[in-house]
Structure 1
Amino acid sequence: MKVEKVNLPETSLLLKNEYDYSDSFISEFIDKEDTIDILVVTKAFFSTSPKWIEKLFLLRNKIVAIFGLKTGDSLEKRKETLNNFRGDIGDKVGIFKVFDKSENEIILGEDDMHLNFRVSLLLDSKPNSSKNLTISTIVNFNNWFGKLYFLPVKPFHKLIVPTMLKSTIRGSIAPNQ
């Protein structure tokens, strides 16, 4: 599965926001039955990450809790939350809250004392049962601690997002096979 780094999509709801950092990654896949929508993609995003990414997030949560930053839920609680998740504005999964939504895009993120971030899952249909999934991230630094925090996170982020994109697509397609 090919993943490309691209600019923020011109149609993204993210463009309503200002940001200090951004990145976007895109991949194409086939949805022959046309059953994959933004809710399917969002649930897959939260339920299909590789174990090494989950372990990194657990480590992150232990470290940032010392500084009073927000941490995510346990894996068991996340599974329970996803069973009832409808993707409505205000819904939460872990530290991710739904900030905005359209028919083919959902904006997730969180505001914390050091930085605010948003993640866009944008699903675009193309001819011949083909679809593009773009995962974009924007970050606003609220203070010097946000910049300092993001310094070691940034290289991991650039590895994690393309990996999450692949696992999200695999997780979205698998139920249909």
Structure 2
Amino acid sequence: MKVEKCSLPKASLLSKNKFDYSDSFKAEFTDKEDTTDIIVMTKAFFSASPGWIGKLFVLRNKMVSVFGLKTGNKIKGKEDVLQNFKGEIGEQIGIFKVFNKSDNEIILGEDDSHLNFRVSLLLEPKEDSRKNLTISTIVNFNNWFGKLYFLPVKPFHKLIVPAMLKSTIKGLIVQNQ
């Protein structure tokens, strides 16, 4: 599966926002049964994280808790949370809150004292049962600490998002078999 870096899609709800940083990655997959909608995709996104990413988040949470920043504690009853997830605005999965939603996109994120971030999962149908999934991130810095915090995060972020994209689609492929 090929993951490509791309521009923030004009079709994205995020394209109307101002931001200090953004990145987007997309990949194509086949959905022969046309069963993948934005809620199925979001559930796969939270179910299919590679183990090394989880370990990075544990390390990040230990480091930033000293500064009073929000941490994404382990989701209690993750299976139940995901099973009952409807994608309603205000609904929460770990540190990610739903900020906006359309038929083919969900905007997740969090606001904190140092920065605010949004993650878009955008599902776009193509011909012949093909679909594109684009994961985009925008960040707004609230102060100098946000900029300082993001300096070491940025290189990891550019590794994490493509890995999450691949594992999300692989999880969907397994689900659809």
Same fold, judged at TM 0.5 (above): yes
Report deviation, 1:75.
4.4
Report deviation, 1:73.
2.7
Residues 49 and 168 in structure 2, CA contact (< 8 A), matched pair in contact too: yes
- Mapping 1:132-171, distance limit 5 Å: 132-171=132-171
Q: CA RMSD in A?
A: 0.9
Task: Among all aligned residue pairs of Structure 1 and Structure 2, give the percentage whose two residues are the same amino acid.
Answer: 73
**Who is 1:73 aligned against?**
73
Amino acid at match of 1:174: V
Q: Scaled by the length of structure 1, what TM-score is found?
A: 0.97
Residue 10 (structure 2) pairs with residue 7 (structure 1)? no
Matched residues in 2 for 1:62 and 1:78: separation? 21
Amino acid at match of 1:107: I
- Mapping 1:109-128, distance limit 5 Å: 109-128=109-128
**Who is 1:50 aligned against?**
50
Matched residues in 2 for 1:163 and 1:123: separation? 17
- 1:44-64 per-residue CA deviation (whole Å, 9 max, x = no partner) reads 111110000001011111111
Worse-superposed segment, 96-105 or 63-72: 63-72
Amino acid at match of 1:135: I
Amino acid at match of 1:80: D
**Who is 2:23 aligned against?**
23
Report deviation, 1:78.
3.2
Matched residues in 2 for 1:176 and 1:18: separation? 37
Matched residues in 2 for 1:159 and 1:119: separation? 15
Matched residues in 2 for 1:174 and 1:17: separation? 35
**Who is 2:94 aligned against?**
94
Matched residues in 2 for 1:131 and 1:51: separation? 26
- The unaligned stretches of length 5 or more in structure 2 are none
Matched residues in 2 for 1:64 and 1:149: separation? 9
**CA gap 1:78/1:64 in 2 versus in 1, 3 angstroms:** farther
**Equivalent residue pairs, number:** 177
Report deviation, 1:16.
2.1
- The unaligned stretches of length 5 or more in structure 1 are none
Q: Scaled by the length of structure 2, what TM-score is found?
A: 0.97
